[in-house]
Structure 1
Amino acid sequence: MQKFQFIPLPPEKFDETMALIKEVKNQLKYLQENFQPKIPTEYLTRHEVASLLKVDISSVHNYTKRGLLQSYALSGRVYYKRSEVEGALVKLQQKKG
């Protein structure tokens, strides 16, 4: 059996509390509609990039040297952001003919 306790509250405090509850509800609704969870950055090794692009590892090295791919280093290891590798691919224009 639940017990309820009634607390005397002046009307102006009740109105303030209700306005605060309404504001919190509006903010929660906004967050539910607009929240975009952050996807963690996925890092790939040179071998994984080569496998993803179906090229030799020397091609990955050349793409990096030419500035087509941006590399990142940590403790002597080279990594690439998956999103940047996929973003480096360009759409080809079809010839009308």
Structure 2
Amino acid sequence: MAGKDEIEIALVPKSQMEEIQKKLDTLNEALQDIRQNWQPKEPPVYLSRNEVAAMLGITLATLHSWDKKGLLKRYSIQNRVWYKRDEVEAALK
């Protein structure tokens, strides 16, 4: 093992170096792809029944009807009804 000020040189066959370089290139491409396409996951934004009804311009009765038909998915959290904003927006499309 080389000391602090010593240099250690190892001979590696050319074919093995080419294989290592190919793996490094593949890894580098994958990292670049991740850097370009990665987006941090944001926590869901929950809306109350009143907020959803106002957002959609409908009454609470219509919202309840849509729930029963399965047009919107509701979440019960601490005895209250909530909707995920992204799911409400997706239902509009």
**Considering the TM-score relative to the shorter chain, is it more than 0.5?**
yes
Q: TM-score, normalised by structure 1?
A: 0.62
- In structure 1, runs of 5+ residues without a counterpart are 91-97
What is the aligned-residue RMSD (CA, Å)?
A: 2.9
Question: Structure 2 vs 1, CA of residues 56 and 9 (structure 1 numbering), >3 Å: closer, same or farther?
Answer: same
1:61 aligns with 2:64: yes
Q: Which amino acid aligns with 1:10?
A: L
Q: Which moved more, 1:10-19 or 1:49-58?
A: 10-19
- Show CA shifts across 1:28-69 (max 9, x none): 123234x34244433211111012112232322222123322
Higher helix share: 2
Runs of 4+ in 1 over 4 A off after TM superposition: none
Alignment length (residue pairs) = 86
How high is the sequence identity, in percent, across the aligned residues?
33
1:89 to 79, 82, 92: 92
- In structure 2, runs of 5+ residues without a counterpart are none
Question: Structure 2 vs 1, CA of residues 54 and 75 (structure 1 numbering), >3 Å: closer, same or farther?
Answer: same
